[in-house]
Amino acid sequence: MPAFCGARGCNNRRSSDTRTRGITFHKFPSDAGLRRQWEAATRREGFVATESSKLCSAHFRADDFDRTGQTVRLRDGATPSVFNFPPRLQRVGVFLLYVLPEIYKEVTRNTNTSRKAEQSLPLDLSLKRFPERKPEPNDDHPYALSTSPTRLKARLSGALDRVESLERERLNSKARERRAKKAVKSLLEDLKLKNLINEELKEKLDFHSDLPIELFSRRSQEYTEDQREFALTLHLHGPKAYTYLRDTLHLPLPHPNTLQRWMQPVDVKPGLNTTMLDMLQRRPEEDPAMAQPLRSKPNLPVRVTWSATERRFIAESDCVHDDATTS
């Protein structure tokens, strides 16, 4: 692909003629600061260099090149400074970015006001030496802009690095989430193929698909209600699947003894666990046969006692317990 010089008013292109004349073409540097200096030197308004943008060697000084090897290379930090611009563009150069402060001091020193001020001074201060005044530190706020271009550039580079790091972290998190969902889906399909779960249990476990399995490994913390419901649902509907996941695949699921403690009544009263009753009460619409024991209460011996603290009668049996309000 032929290369063209990106400088304003330069028509050099890579050809046998330019090769005979010793003209070489050089890509814009990858360093952001040096790249902007090259772009400003071309005097093209709104110009932004691309990967294919190049400048020919006619715009560099002889001491900008390293010709020690077979390939002509630019020295580190070299900037283009040889251009044939119109007079209106020749008045502004890249070097003004570095000497502008000194020029500003010289211009202000030569104004009429400064001359009058110097003439009105009655004392000769040429022999007096004053201590060099150090720049005052800008410690007002940590977010205040520094007056030093070097510090501003360092802060900008740090902010850009931080943005890039956060973007990589976000992409990695999304990738981990996709892999985790894919692993859960594959695991459920594997259990279904092994006949360890049925379609109903698969749908129930899909409801807990957004529950991170890593949370079960934090032994120092109490299990949440969602974790308990997930473990109890899996163990009650598919004990073989629960054993397979815990013993074969070594997933950090609670021990069955822990599940038995969860199934005990919280108030340590005779009867069924309230969590189990709530779960069975949600089953009539799904499976009426499973809810039949709730509709037909067996004739069991009932003990009625008076609770002085609650001020009501409490009916208790060996399997179920019911409350009777004080009459």
Q: What is the pLDDT of residues 175-189, one digit of tens each?
A: 888 888 888 778 777
CA dist., res. 59 & res. 149, Å (int):
27
Task: Give residue-wise pLDDT tens across range 68-101.
Answer: 878 888 888 888 888 776 655 555 444 444 444 4
- Look at residue 118 and tell me whether its pLDDT is greater than 70: no
Determine which helix (DSSP H) or strand (DSSP E) holds 141, and give its type and residue range: none
Model confidence band, residue 157 (pLDDT cutoffs 50, 70, 90): confident
245: Cα separation from own chain's centroid: 33
Q: Is 227 exposed, middle or buried (0-12, 13-18, 19+ CB in 10 A)?
A: buried
Give the whole-angstrom CA distance, residue 326 versus residue 238. 43
Asked if residue 223 has pLDDT above 80, the reply is no
Diameter over CA atoms, the chain: 121
Residue 162 has pLDDT above 80, yes or no: yes
Q: What is the rounded average pLDDT for all residues in the chain?
A: 69
Contact residues for 227 (Cβ-Cβ < 8 A; gap 6+): 211, 215, 216
Contact 24, 67 (CB under 8 A): no
pTM: 0.28
Q: How far is Cα 2 from Cα 71, in angstroms, rounded to an integer?
A: 19
CB atoms near residue 223 (< 10 Å): 17
DSSP label of 229: H
Could you tell me the residue ranges of all domains in the chain? 1-112, 167-263
pLDDT in tens, 235-249: 776 777 778 777 776
CB distance 311 to 302 below 8 Å: no
Mean pLDDT of 149-158: 85
Residue type, 105: K
Q: Are 317 and 270 in contact (CB under 8 A)?
A: yes
